[in-house]
């Protein structure tokens, strides 16, 4: 993948260019824009119905719709009464929108830390709300190191060896330069545990304490985008579809799920980690189709 500097992550445009070149190189038959509204069973396969009215009859489906189109905000009592700004991290663009405001940043992972690092430079006040005390990785551990560790664990499991100890989880915070700078000036210290409800102009904690706020940034993650599979009746109460190793849906043998998180393959929700899982899934589909 092209990158202006081998020691940094490739920028957005480089990633997009890489994917476009990959599609062109292998002459992939990609139809776009298409949004599948429903997947249904037929006598001899599956029927895909698009929102546009188009439909396809197929022998097998790999569902790889990911999670980014389904941001999650917890059902906090009073959320609809709050008069301030509420923005999910999926819709966050620039910190200037929060200049001079009192902001609650909810979520203790990397998005929460990185957005807080930016907003805290312009906001009148920021308060970090996390389920647990945030865990910061050492300064020399970046995304590349975490990927190498995950790869080593995957390789060990594949070869039947004891995986090396897990060092750094997905919720642990990578100390990219803006986060290091924010921690140095104290912007990331003293996080509070979650509030229990919202009022028109404040958040309320279990002990009755209230903190006034003008805005809430919800860095609370995403959920699998699987509504199109609802007609199959295979979704669990948590919104997932139970799968076997390899991603084959337990409730529908002609369906595979790919790229939703570790439950569909280690690191399969990342661009770097999807390759090995996708390769194995495609081989399994090919074998099933004969």
List, for residues 169-214, the tens digit of each pLDDT value.
Answer: 545 888 888 999 999 999 998 899 999 999 999 999 999 999 999 9
Indicate if 92 and 185 belong to the same structural domain.
yes
Q: In this predicted structure, what is the pLDDT of residue 1?
A: 44
Indicate if 208 and 183 belong to the same structural domain.
yes
| pLDDT range class, residue 271, cuts 50, 70, 90 | confident
Q: In this predicted structure, what is the pLDDT of residue 3?
A: 43
CA 70 to chain centre: 9
Indicate if 104 and 185 belong to the same structural domain.
yes
Indicate if 100 and 128 belong to the same structural domain.
yes
As a whole number of angstroms, the distance between CA 223 and CA 235 comes to: 13
Indicate if 279 and 207 belong to the same structural domain.
no
Burial class (CB in 10 A: 0-12, 13-18, 19+), 163: middle
CATH number assigned to the domain comprising residue 109:
3.50.50.60
Indicate if 37 and 96 belong to the same structural domain.
no
Indicate if 228 and 129 belong to the same structural domain.
no
Indicate if 116 and 207 belong to the same structural domain.
yes
pTM of the model: 0.79
Indicate if 114 and 197 belong to the same structural domain.
yes
Q: Within a domain: residue 9?
A: no
Range of the domain at 177: 85-136+173-218
Determine contact, residues 134/111, Cβ cutoff 8 Å. Answer: no
As a whole number of angstroms, the distance between CA 83 and CA 228 comes to: 33
Q: In this predicted structure, what is the pLDDT of residue 11?
A: 78
What total number of domains does the chain contain?
Answer: 2
Q: Within a domain: residue 116?
A: yes
Backbone phi, psi, residue 117, to 5° = -60, -40
> What are 220's two structure tokens?
């609370």
- Name the DSSP class of 245: T
| Alpha helix (H) residue ranges in the chain | 12-25, 110-119, 143-158, 177-184, 274-289
Q: Within a domain: residue 44?
A: yes
List, for residues 95-144, the tens digit of each pLDDT value.
Answer: 999 999 999 999 988 999 999 999 999 999 999 999 999 988 876 665 56
Indicate if 259 and 280 belong to the same structural domain.
yes
Q: Within a domain: residue 197?
A: yes
Indicate if 132 and 233 belong to the same structural domain.
no
List, for residues 4-17, the tens digit of each pLDDT value.
Answer: 444 456 777 898 99
């Amino acid at each position: 993948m092209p990158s202006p500097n081998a020691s940094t992550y490739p920028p957005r445009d480089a990633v997009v260019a890489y994917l476009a070149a990959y599609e062109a190189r292998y002459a992939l038959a990609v139809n776009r824009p298409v949004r599948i509204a429903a997947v249904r069973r037929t006598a001899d396969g599956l029927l895909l119905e698009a929102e546009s009215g188009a439909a396809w009859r197929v022998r097998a489906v790999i569902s790889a719709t990911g999670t980014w189109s389904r941001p999650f905000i917890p059902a906090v009592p009073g959320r609809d009464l709050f008069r301030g700004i509420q923005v999910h991290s999926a819709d966050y663009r620039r910190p200037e929108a929060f200049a001079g405001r009192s902001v609650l940043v909810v979520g203790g992972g990397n998005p929460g830390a990185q957005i807080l690092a930016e907003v805290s430079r312009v906001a009148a006040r920021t308060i970090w709300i996390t389920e647990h005390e945030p865990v910061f990785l050492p300064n020399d551990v970046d995304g590349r190191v975490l990927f190498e560790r995950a790869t080593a664990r995957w390789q060990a499991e594949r070869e039947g060896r004891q995986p090396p100890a897990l060092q750094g989880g997905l919720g642990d915070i990578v100390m990219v330069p803006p986060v290091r700078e924010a921690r140095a000036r104290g912007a990331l210290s003293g996080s509070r545990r979650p509030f229990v409800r919202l009022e028109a102009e404040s958040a309320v904690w279990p002990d009755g304490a209230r903190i006034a706020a003008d805005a809430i940034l919800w860095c609370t993650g995403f959920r699998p985008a699987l509504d199109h599979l609802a007609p199959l009746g295979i979704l669990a109460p948590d919104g997932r579809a139970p799968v076997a190793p390899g991603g084959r849906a337990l409730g529908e043998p002609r369906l595979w799920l790919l790229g939703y998180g570790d439950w569909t393959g280690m690191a399969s929700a990342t661009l770097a980690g999807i390759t090995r899982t996708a390769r194995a899934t495609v081989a399994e589909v090919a074998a099933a189709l004969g």
